[in-house]
Structure 1
């Protein structure tokens, strides 16, 4: 009998929790559009060689997990990572999300990126194609910032 009462109580608690989830917080088109705009702005900044602008799209303690690199934490580390690339190469990026999912204040974007790096001092151009996941968090002001950026090359 106790197990039955506990099961009923647990069921009621779960129903209350589930009823608190507002459907407008799941895959809201406005949120998806905002997240896709962030992705486009980051790509534009990459193509312009603007490391500072890329970093502004990360949370203060956002993580950058690039291939063959240690995990970098924070906007300053993100900016320094990209600045090293821009100091050495002329860059071109074609990047887009294949899927964006939003649930409340968290979201992810799964995408592909084609990168071209042309050495500024001569040498062979580097071409890479990669897949990536961005995890984003909605801020108090309604904007979205990246908490995690991870990718690996398809080669």
Structure 2
């Protein structure tokens, strides 16, 4: 990973570590965490479930990082967009993501979640269900929109 590509992840992890040292959720009194969670988490899940690559790319930062189990890390909206387009063309998908902790610190938000995904093969109709867990890191853009900067997830199924 190049230094330029690792900056967003390093910055996000640094903020996460600092906020974790405060002994509790690091939020400003002026921040409506529930509203940020609804916008960030809710918008991301809705974009996934739209099965539309363009809608999903709209909720990603330009330097987004995807870390999926059993696959190389994807860095950048172009790489993730290509992967998503292939996924959505092969499967009709529905994801349920349940947040188990949402922290806002400035223009960053961090979330631990569990998921259930249901993928229906568009050619065969075969249905695959998965359950697992992940961590999302969101970044607020200059336009005020919360976008996914990092999504790392893994299945609970044995390898």
Using the size of structure 2 for normalisation, the TM-score is 0.73
Partner residue in 2 for 1:78: 80
Moved over 4 A (4+): none
Whether the 8 Å CA contact 1:39–1:96 is kept in 2: the answer is: no
What secondary structure, in the 3-state scheme, does the structure 1 residue paired with 2:123 have? coil
Long gaps (5+) in structure 2: 1-25
- 2:38 and 2:147 map into 1 onto residues whose CA distance is 12
Structure ID, larger Rg? 1
Q: Which residue of 2 aligns with 1:114?
A: 116
Offset at residue 139 of structure 1 (A): 2.4
Structure 1: gaps of 5 or more residues = 1-23
Q: CA 1:46 to 1:146, structure 2 compared with 1: closer, same or farther past 3 Å?
A: closer
The answer on 1:98 being equivalent to 2:100 is yes
1:29: Cα distance to partner?
A: 4.4
CA RMSD of aligned residues (A): 2.3
- 1:1-155 superposed matches below 5 A: 25-26=27-28, 29-122=31-124, 124-155=126-157
The alignment covers a number of residue pairs equal to 133
Cα separation, 1, equivalents of 2:58 and 2:75? 13
The TM-score, its normalising length taken from structure 1, stands at 0.75
8 Å contact from structure 2 (residues 65, 151) kept in 1: yes
Query: How far off its partner does 1:76 sit?
Result: 1.7
Q: Deviations over 1:91-116 (max 9, x none)?
A: 11111311101122222011111101
CA offset digits 1:17-69 (Å, max 9, x no partner): xxxxxxx9537542442233222222222222112211221211111111111
> Secondary structure at 1:140's aligned position in 2?
coil
